[in-house]
Amino acid sequence: MTLPLVLQATHAWFRKNEPKNLLLPFFSLLTIPGPVAYFAYSISSEWTVAASVYPLFVATLLASIAIYRLSPIHPLAGYPGPVMCKISKMWPAYVAYHGKLHHYYRALHNIYGPIVRVGPNELSIIDKDAIPFILGAHGMPKGPLWEGRQLTPPRVRPPTPNGLINVRDFRRHAQLRKPWNKAFGSVPMKDYEDIMIQRAAQLIEHLHRIVQKSPSRQGHIDLAKWISFFSFDFMGDMAFGGGFELMRDGDKDGVWAAMEQALFIPSVIQHIPWMADIFGAMPLVGANLRKFGAFAVTQATLRSKANVQKRDLFYYLLDATDPDSTTDPFRLIVSNAVLAIVAGSDTTSSVLSNIAYYLLRHPQYLNQLTSEVDGCFPADEDTAIDTSKLSSMKILNAIINETLRLQPAVLTSLQRAPAKDSGGKLIGDKFIPEGTAVIVPPYVLHRHPQYFSPRPDDFWPERWILAENENEKTKHNIVLDHTAFVPFSTGPANCAGKALALLELRYLTVMLVREFDMTFEGGYSADTWERGLEDRFVVKKGVLPVVLRLRKAAQAQG
């Protein structure tokens, strides 16, 4: 009877205590059966009998946990979902390994409905009425998934979180968010805009040079790569006061490649965060993670010591921080360096690349946008782009919104969980017990026909324009629910840099359309692009082969 009692006690303990790292469960499973093994040896005098206690204990414990998670007494027993997901988060981690978690979640919701159990203690919800209770002002703090996304080395992580992206305490998040709100106010935004315009001009200059050097006056480029380099250089200026020249020098130091590779491990381990430190420490598996983390620390160190000539993000963050705060400037910078690098470059570059893809895939919209751009900023007059006009360009913003709907920068991983010691959270008429994580996958939500129809899977920018007129909306049976449109998240933990991101999307799209005629490279299958997109928390993209021609030269020839 001793082993069953030990098993019951161990199972009860693991039910209430989610492990924070691998060391605790490993140590527990190694030591807890010890007295039972010793008792078995004292009776049989056989080490083999005693040793058999350990695998028997582990196997029985795992079976007991699996049976409980599938049983009707589990708190989430009433929610449908695949058996593999109910038993363990190892299965979603396996799906995430292949980069197609957004497709998997969508398939599950198509089968099971608006609420799906995607883990032993996790739900995926695409009911827009639940969003305010999950992500909104009266929602929940971030969930355990964020603990598996740590890219900063443990040695430089402060005991009190200074990083906005992964802090899970509501009050601490509110404290950290105030400086960010000030850092994206009207005065800082003007400084960021000036930096962005300079970098956009540099991109256009490089692309012009590629076209002009070609005997055929056609530039054959990977447009996604050039957009990525632009975004990274701009981010370096905006956040760290400069230092990156990928457009000029290429990725000679492998910085961009390291960032994309470093995001692979967290995109998988975020589902089993208690294994994060173990994977990060493994010599081969964690090499890219450590390399990118070290790069972020290096940039934070340089920025904390620099005499910055231009007022950048960290200038405003430090300026907005409470002067009586004990926050070490270096700690604040290093804690937010990864957020600044990834959110300031990878997210916008993926959306910009998807905008270019959809315009090339649907040239009728490229033609419409070209006409709108020419009407606002005639190319033959070298009219400067007035950024104040960009937000009122209907076709431009419809194209951007439709891209953000179909391919948001964060495809799935908006996770929240009831606050610690709260007991749980009421979401509408459903009570979510403490210890349960809730995820809202924008990719799935944005394609739900109940909120976006007709043609929820099609690139159809007109839906955003027609929906503004009630008669047209009724005529075309358009459903467009803005409350279900969350490409920048929503609530107190939404994207702090949303205004800057939209400005960057609008400005660069206009610049590219104004300067170049663009087509896919001959023989390129457009389906390749979407097949190659991977959910790595942010979107990992492939090659976008494009042929560029100068529009002014074409007009002169005409």
d(C-alpha 473, C-alpha 449), whole Å: 15
What the block records as the tokens of 163 is 């990083």
| Neighbouring C-alpha atoms within 13 Å toward the C-beta of 323 | 1
Q: 337 and 231 in contact (C-beta within 8 Å)?
A: no
CA-based torsion, 208, 209, 213, 218: positive or negative: negative
* Residue 495, marked binder: yes
Q: 146 and 270 in contact (C-beta within 8 Å)?
A: yes
CA-based torsion, 448, 451, 454, 457: positive or negative: negative
What region does 66 belong to: left with phi over 0, alpha with psi -120 to 50, or beta? alpha
- One-character DSSP codes across 367-417: HHHHHHHHHHS-GGGTPPP-GGGGGG-HHHHHHHHHHHHHS-SB-S-EEE-
Determine the 3-state secondary structure of 430 from DSSP.
Answer: strand
Among candidates 256, 261, 297, which has minimal Cα distance to 163? 297
Q: 104 and 413 in contact (C-beta within 8 Å)?
A: no
Buried b (16+ CB within 10 A) or exposed e, 471-506: eeeeeeebbbeeebbbbbbbbebebbbebbbbbbbb
d(C-alpha 120, C-alpha 214), whole Å: 58
Q: 285 and 265 in contact (C-beta within 8 Å)?
A: yes
d(C-alpha 207, C-alpha 513), whole Å: 13
Q: Annotated binding site for heme: which residue ranges? A: 495
Q: Annotated binding site: which residue ranges? A: 495
